[in-house]
């Protein structure tokens, strides 16, 4: 089975590496060619153009956002190059609207479109420890299942309409951002009452919130260690916009998502887009003027 992979950022490189490690022949492409070198050294073939990586049985893509995917897939000729009967597995977090549109465009060309967004950071991707959501035609999903098992620790089938996987992925990222905002406000409340953020979060993530998401982001907030970003704040903002767009298309009010939007905009306006998205906590601290309070108590 010939496999293609387009989009070799940190996540894409990790996933492609797992496919190589499972002894699959892989043709890769990336806009910036340097990202292909490490995989070529491990046996991948570097395509000269994106469309070349699409002449395969299964094409995986992991591109940054709707615009990047449209540019490569539609304007870049990749969809046109996909053979009839092939499968396109898209790992990216894209809008529900684009997922619906792509399902139709692929069907017209006799290509199966499978949405397979993932939960996990680059290190989990490299270790094959992602959680993989998957939705699409049942036969197509069955066909790519061994590939998905090679990249993830768990597989979550979500039906035949691809956009269903995107809705769940978007909902999950929304809930992560909400957890960050909750920790942000809680720690600012604590600090204003003289309780260190680390002390407060040690109790809460040691009792009610003993989940990795709370522990990891809680540590970053307590230590104010936002660089290098595990997940960049500007991407967290992008996903919040996807949440709001998915809500608007079905007329769903989401007040908490609205708060996240304003918090992310505030952070972006302050130049923090490349920090980890847990830097949302700095917004809450600024609004309460915490820095200044600390300064006032210096000798």
Other Cβ atoms less than 10 A from the Cβ of 251: the count is: 6
* Widest pairwise Cα distance in the chain: 73
Smallest gap from residue 46 Cβ to a second copy (A): 33
State phi, psi for 249 to the nearest 5 degrees.
Answer: -65, -25
The reply to whether omega before 228 is within 30° of 0 (cis) is yes
Q: Is 136 helix (H, G, I), strand (E, B) or coil?
A: coil
Rounded to whole angstroms, the Cα distance separating 259 from 255 reads 6
Cβ pair 47, 21 in contact under 8 A:
no
- With CA atoms as reference, report the closest residue to 72 among 157, 143, 6: 6
Rounded to whole angstroms, the Cα distance separating 158 from 134 reads 6
Cα–chain-centroid distance for residue 251?
24
Question: Which of residues 27 and 200 has its CB atom nearest to a second copy in the complex?
Answer: 200
To which H or E segment does residue 81 belong?
Answer: helix 78-81
Encoded tokens for 29? 């492409």
Catalytic (active-site) positions: 169
Question: Which of residues 224 and 289 has its CB atom nearest to a second copy in the complex?
Answer: 289
């Amino acid at each position: 089975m010939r496999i293609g992979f387009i989009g070799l950022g940190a996540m894409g490189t990790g996933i492609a590496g797992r496919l190589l490690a499972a002894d699959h022949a892989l043709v890769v492409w990336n806009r910036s060619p340097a990202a292909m070198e490490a995989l070529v050294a491990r046996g991948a073939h570097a395509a000269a153009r994106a469309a070349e990586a699409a002449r395969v049985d299964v094409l995986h893509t992991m591109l940054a956002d709707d615009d990047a995917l449209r540019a490569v897939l539609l304007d870049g000729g990749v969809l046109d190059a996909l053979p009839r009967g092939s499968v396109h597995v898209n790992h990216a977090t894209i809008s529900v609207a684009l997922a619906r549109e792509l399902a139709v465009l692929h069907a017209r060309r006799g290509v199966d479109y499978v949405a397979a967004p993932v939960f996990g950071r680059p290190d989990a991707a490299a270790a094959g420890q992602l959680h993989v959501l998957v939705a699409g035609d049942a036969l197509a999903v069955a066909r790519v299942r061994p590939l998905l098992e090679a990249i993830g620790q768990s597989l979550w089938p979500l039906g035949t309409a691809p956009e269903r996987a995107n809705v769940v992925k978007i909902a999950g990222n929304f809930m992560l951002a909400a957890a960050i905002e909750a920790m942000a406000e809680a720690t600012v409340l604590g600090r204003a009452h003289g309780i260190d953020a680390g002390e407060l979060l040690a109790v809460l993530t040691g009792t009610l919130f003993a989940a990795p998401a709370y522990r990891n982001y809680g540590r970053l907030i307590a230590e104010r260690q936002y660089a290098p970003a595990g997940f960049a704040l500007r991407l967290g903002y992008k996903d919040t916009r996807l949440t709001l767009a998915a809500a608007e298309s079905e007329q769903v009010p989401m007040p908490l998502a609205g708060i996240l939007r304003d918090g992310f905009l505030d952070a972006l306006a302050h130049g923090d887009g490349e920090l980890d998205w847990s830097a949302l906590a700095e917004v809450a601290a600024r609004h309460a003027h915490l820095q200044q309070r600390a300064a006032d108590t210096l000798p």
